[in-house]
Amino acid sequence: GVGLDLSQFMNSENHGDLRAEFNLPPNSKIVLSVGELNKNKNQQVIIRALAHLNDSNIHYFLAGNGPLRDELEQLAETLGLKNNVHFLGYRRDVPSLLKNADVYAFPSLREGLGMASIEAMSTGLPLVTSNRHGINDYSENGKTGFKYNPDDYKGFADGIKRIVYDDEMKNKMGKYNIEVSKRFTVESSIKELGRIYREILSD
For residue 108, how many C-alpha atoms fall within 13 Å in the half-sphere facing its CB? 22
pTM: 0.88
What is the full per-residue pLDDT of the chain (203 aa) written as tens digits? 555 767 767 665 656 789 999 999 999 999 999 999 999 999 999 999 999 999 999 999 999 999 999 999 999 999 999 999 999 999 989 999 999 999 999 999 998 877 899 999 999 999 999 999 889 989 999 999 999 999 999 999 999 999 999 999 999 999 999 999 988 874 554 454 444 445 666 66
Which amino acid is it at 134? Answer: G
What's the burial of 200, exposed, middle or buried (CB within 10 Å: 0-12/13-18/19+)?
A: exposed
